[in-house]
Amino acid sequence: MDGPAGDRRPRADTAPGRRRLPLLDRADAGGRSGGHRRHRRGRGEERGLAGGADHRPAGRRSREAPRREARGAGLVAKKKARVRLVDTTFRDAQQALLGGYLRTEEILPIAAEMDSIGFTAMEAFGGATFETQLLIHEDPWEFLRKLNRSTPNTPIQALIRGQNLVSKRNFADDVVELFIRHAAKCGVDVFRVFDPLNDLRNMEASIAAALKAKKKVQGALCYAISPAHNLELWGSLAKGLVNMGCHEIVIKDTSGLLSPQATWELVTALKQMVKVPIDVHSHCSSGMAPMAYMAAVEAGADVLDVAMSPLAWGASQPAAESVVAALEGGEYDTGLDLGRMWNAQRDVEELKRRHIEHLSPVADRVDASILRYHMPGLMIDDIYHQLGARNATERLNDVMDEANHVRRHIGYPPLVAPIRQMIATQAVHNVLGGDRYATVTQELKDYLQGLYGRPPAPVDPELRRLVIGREEPITLRPADLLEPQVEAARLQVRKLGFEPSDDVVLIHLMFPSLAPAYARGPQPEKQDGQRPKTAPVEAPPAPPSEPEPVAVPAAAPAQTAEFDVEVEGEVFKVRVSGGGLAVVATGVAASAPANAAPPKIGEGTVIAPMQGLIVKVPVKPGDDVKLGDVVAVLEAMKMQNDIVTTVAGKVRAVYAKEGEVVTPNQPLLDIG
């Protein structure tokens, strides 16, 4: 991670004697000039990156007449089947609005009731909900098995992030094959496979495994607006997925950026290029999704993704009831009976009320700023929370502007997980750190080395050289670098004293910190028979060797109590106003004696840019360091960040210790 001097180390671009990088020109620093090129749909022409107010799709005037004609007799003749609906209530919808905290016993009765509605599939497995179920001590595999028994008439659909599966890193092909085979055995009927970069190489193994399991496979295209994304690219990707064996193509618009015109053009083009059904998946974050859905069916889309109305809208999908009613009686009728939906709607409404503390106020609304920044609402929410942790929410607009610059520098990737988190975190570093790319996350380094795959457009060469030095990025499929992992994992699970079932082995591979608690089985209930109340962030049980947290009274005179909460190595500072209890982990050592004077901050002091865990301190007093050398590695927001020095000299003192939790602006070491 550290690399030789002058090779992989990010440097402050404004350091004396260093020329300013081309990617840091005045237009770039000015705010609105980067990353807002309007989408030229159907043409390869590029327009200047201007942030004007007109976000109508390019080419609208020239295409308006053909569109009106297509709305007439032409499309009526082509339409041969009813529009089918996929319900996302128990996966994408609850993940977007409630954080994925619904429990198995809450979902099953409602899912059984919805089984008679007639959805073409029920997406209820995969994505981020898999990990969330583990965090709240649910069993995702047992949930899937029970759901399969409760919904005999409706196929269960899973969302798979290509070679990442349901995690955020690549796995070897044997892990992918085992996961898909096991999910199919437990009840998944439809696998929707996507890759954050639309790199088809990262989707090959998942698609092949699902086909081998004789299941239906959807290949998903992550929709994005950029100079690199045009109809030619979308058509090429769709053809590639069909050639791999995909039964359907999904337009996956996680940001809610699909306008009606763009939808009509894209669906029309794909229907001409591939002869498989087209599914349109969008989010209501920007307010355009219902209109885009109407344009989609007019252009020939076969499937739409919806959610039951209490968990629809906002960052979720359009409401199932509304879509059924809107299309009822016409040529695009879904054939579904609204009367069968009302009981389920009432029960989902009650479910939402029970989890109102988990409802994100940002996600549960329309945010037109998405149309300005081309970002999903969840990404804006992520940036806001990162800034809130550093008392810098007033810089929100600056960071969102910077995020678009970062996206342009790294080749215009679609803003889907985990890429959007990587860009958001880097943008926060760039704005609050003073010098752009002075602090670089390990994830961005891996991305620039090609370990995530091939980006849609070339990466800025100056940024790549700044971050990874003379190393050449890989050109092969990232998973080709990985050795088989399954058998070694079985041995590890057995050594830990657990039966190496497929359930346990797969969780050990994907979420090793959560595997021991999962393997030990369900957590005991409280004496009153109730489960512990679910919190927005619930940590897995600590290993037996660690002391359990204890409740201590907050100091009576204090108006505010502050304490740290650690979840999977990620530490959050929590401030509680008023009376009550603060939960303090008794086993966490203080970073310094209570009566020790804090180190003074001078010109050569390296400070922590954010709160986090010190993973590594590669220097010691007396070491010589050069400008840009890595002097500490800090883990925060589930990412490792290299802390570099902006001065050259000799290390005079090291205050930070590996394994220590530090706060923003805390001195880490002094260089003189």
| pLDDT tens sequence across 190-234 | 999 999 999 999 999 999 999 999 999 999 999 999 999 999 999
pLDDT of 648: 84
Residue 449 has pLDDT above 60, yes or no: yes
**Parent domain of 581:** 547-586
Within 10 Å of residue 511's Cβ, how many Cβ atoms?
18
Residue with tokens 């880490």: 668
Q: How far apart are CA 444 and CA 243, in angstroms?
A: 32
Q: How far apart are CA 333 and CA 325, in angstroms?
A: 9
User: Comparing 562 with 653, which gets the higher pLDDT?
Assistant: 653
Within 10 Å of residue 19's Cβ, how many Cβ atoms?
6
Residue 170 has pLDDT above 60, yes or no: yes
Say if residues 70 and 268 touch (Cβ distance below 8 Å): yes
459 SS3 class? coil
**Residues 287 and 241 occupy one common structural domain:** yes
Q: How far apart are CA 262 and CA 279, in angstroms?
A: 15
- Domain with residue 450: its CATH number is 1.10.472
Residue 277 has pLDDT above 50, yes or no: yes
**Res. 589 pLDDT band, cuts 50 70 90:** very low
Q: How far apart are CA 54 and CA 487, in angstroms?
A: 56
Strands in 97-173 per DSSP E? 121-126, 156-160
Tokens of residue 26, six digits:
């005045």
**Residues 131 and 172 occupy one common structural domain:** yes
**Cα angle at 87 between 85 and 92, to 5 degrees?**
130
Q: Look at residue 135 and tell me if it is in a domain.
A: yes
pLDDT of 637: 54
Say if residues 245 and 212 touch (Cβ distance below 8 Å): no
Helix H or strand E encompassing 491:
helix 486-495
User: Comparing 559 with 327, which gets the higher pLDDT?
Assistant: 327
Q: Is the dihedral of CA 333, 338, 344, 347 positive or negative?
A: positive
**Residues 284 and 384 occupy one common structural domain:** no
156 SS3 class? strand
**Residues 203 and 306 occupy one common structural domain:** yes
Give mean pLDDT, residues 624-634: 83
Nearest to 247 by CA among 213, 211, 221, 212: 211
The span from the first CA to the last CA of the chain, in angstroms, equals: 25
Helix axes 289-299, 320-327, angle to 10 degrees: 40
Give the residue from 358, 391, 413 where a domain finishes: 358
User: Comparing 365 with 524, which gets the higher pLDDT?
Assistant: 365
Q: Look at residue 181 and tell me if it is in a domain.
A: yes
pLDDT mean across residues, the chain? 81
**Residues 216 and 345 occupy one common structural domain:** yes
Q: Look at residue 353 and tell me if it is in a domain.
A: yes
pLDDT of 650: 92
Q: How far is CA 637 from the centre of its chain?
A: 12
Q: Look at residue 515 and tell me if it is in a domain.
A: no
Q: Look at residue 566 and tell me if it is in a domain.
A: yes
**Beta 188-193 vs 639-644: how paired, if at all?**
unpaired
**Residues 169 and 314 occupy one common structural domain:** yes
pLDDT of 596: 53
Most confident of 141-145, 328-332, 514-518: 141-145
User: Comparing 569 with 462, which gets the higher pLDDT?
Assistant: 462
- Domain with residue 190: its CATH number is 3.20.20.70
Say if residues 632 and 606 touch (Cβ distance below 8 Å): yes
Q: Look at residue 246 and tell me if it is in a domain.
A: yes
pLDDT of 645: 79
Alpha helices in 187-223 (DSSP H): 204-212
pLDDT of 417: 87
Give mean pLDDT, residues 139-158: 98
Q: How far apart are CA 28 and CA 384, in angstroms?
A: 22
Residue with tokens 């409280």: 526
Give the residue from 436, 457, 480 where a domain finishes: 480
What's the pLDDT tens digit per position in 455-508? 999 999 999 999 999 889 999 999 999 999 999 999 999 999 999 999 999 999
What's the pLDDT tens digit per position in 387-440? 988 899 999 999 999 999 999 999 999 999 889 999 999 999 999 987 899 889
What's the pLDDT tens digit per position in 39-88? 333 333 332 323 333 333 333 334 444 443 443 333 333 445 799 999 99
Q: Look at residue 166 and tell me if it is in a domain.
A: yes
**Residues 329 and 409 occupy one common structural domain:** no
Instruction: Please state the domain count of the chain.
Output: 4
**Residues 250 and 166 occupy one common structural domain:** yes
pLDDT of 524: 57
Helix axes 486-495, 173-186, angle to 10 degrees: 70
126 SS3 class? strand
**Cα angle at 466 between 461 and 468, to 5 degrees?**
90
Q: How far apart are CA 631 and CA 305, in angstroms?
A: 48
What's the pLDDT tens digit per position in 350-386? 999 999 999 887 788 898 888 988 888 778 878 988 9
Q: Look at residue 126 and tell me if it is in a domain.
A: yes
**Residues 581 and 609 occupy one common structural domain:** no
Residue with tokens 């370990």: 451
**Residues 236 and 354 occupy one common structural domain:** yes
User: Comparing 535 with 235, which gets the higher pLDDT?
Assistant: 235
Which contacts (CB < 8 Å, 24+ apart) does range 319-327 have?
320/85, 320/87, 320/119, 321/345, 322/290, 323/85, 323/290, 323/293, 324/85, 326/290, 326/294, 327/83, 327/297
Nearest to 93 by CA among 284, 259, 304, 280: 284
Nearest to 171 by CA among 477, 453, 444, 485: 485
Residue 569 has pLDDT above 80, yes or no: no
Say if residues 270 and 249 touch (Cβ distance below 8 Å): yes
- Domain with residue 626: its CATH number is 2.40.50.100
10 SS3 class? coil
Half-sphere exposure of 83 (CA within 13 A, CB side): 29
Say if residues 5 and 626 touch (Cβ distance below 8 Å): yes
**Residues 150 and 235 occupy one common structural domain:** yes
**Residues 318 and 409 occupy one common structural domain:** no
